[in-house]
């Protein structure tokens, strides 16, 4: 148990080691450890995903995630946050992002965790490309009318 670090932010290219993240999050002054995993889902409407590929503006992604973490500490009485985002290919059911929040009481952990993933999805320069079962692929740019197909 490392009681000194208050946050850990990483971009990785291997499967996210959730056991390690949970171990790192334990604190003797925390009664709650919350983990959220964003995973690759097979169906979105009529689109059948085979796998996703993630790309990032890495330096800015790290600094933007750090800003979110700093704000979460201001907003909620939490003691530790870890955010790990995977880049490259992520298969069905695999985690592309892990968010872990530790806090003395569970309310702030749930609230901070939800806010962190919601805001990450709006603000952090990371993009996913959907490779569908039909063989086509498309970058997802949500405010566009339709996904960017290749």
Segment contacting other proteins (CB under 8 A): 25-33, 43-51, 102-110, 120-128? Answer: 120-128
CB of 110: closest distance to other proteins in angstroms? 17
CB of 122: closest distance to other proteins in angstroms? 7
CB 48 within 8 A of CB 121: no
What the block records as the tokens of 127 is: 């993009």
Q: Write out the binding residues for other proteins, residues 47-106 only, by CB under 8 A.
A: 54-57, 59-61, 63, 85, 96-97
CB of 54: closest distance to other proteins in angstroms? 7
CB of 31: closest distance to other proteins in angstroms? 27
The number of beta carbons lying within 10 Å of the beta carbon of residue 41 is 10
Distance in angstroms (rounded) separating the CA atoms of residues 102 and 6: 9
Tokens 């889902």, residue?
41
Tokens 């800015």, residue?
60
Number of residues that bind other proteins (CB under 8 A): 31
Check residue 41 for interaction with other proteins (CB under 8 A). Answer: no
The number of beta carbons lying within 10 Å of the beta carbon of residue 149 is 10
The number of beta carbons lying within 10 Å of the beta carbon of residue 144 is 9
Nearer to other proteins, 12 or 140 (CB): 140
Distance in angstroms (rounded) separating the CA atoms of residues 143 and 123: 13
CB of 69: closest distance to other proteins in angstroms? 15
Segment contacting other proteins (CB under 8 A): 13-21, 69-77, 107-115, 140-148? Answer: 140-148
Tokens 């603000």, residue?
123
- Give the residues lining the site for other proteins (CB under 8 A): 38, 54-57, 59-61, 63, 85, 96-97, 117, 120-129, 139-144, 148, 150
């Amino acid at each position: 148990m490392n009681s000194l670090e208050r946050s850990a932010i990483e971009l990785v290219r291997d499967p996210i080691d959730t056991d390690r993240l949970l171990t790192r999050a334990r604190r003797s002054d925390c009664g709650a450890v919350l983990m959220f995993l964003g995973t690759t889902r097979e169906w979105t409407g009529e689109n059948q995903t085979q796998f996703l590929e993630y790309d990032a503006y890495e330096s800015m992604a790290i600094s933007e995630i750090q800003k979110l973490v700093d704000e979460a500490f201001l907003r909620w009485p939490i003691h530790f946050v870890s955010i790990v985002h995977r880049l490259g290919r992520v298969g069905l059911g695999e985690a592309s992002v892990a968010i872990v929040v530790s806090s003395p009481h569970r309310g702030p952990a749930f609230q901070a965790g939800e806010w962190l993933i919601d805001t990450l999805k709006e603000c952090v320069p990371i993009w996913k490309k959907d490779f569908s079962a039909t063989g086509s692929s498309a970058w997802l740019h949500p405010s566009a009318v339709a996904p960017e197909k290749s």
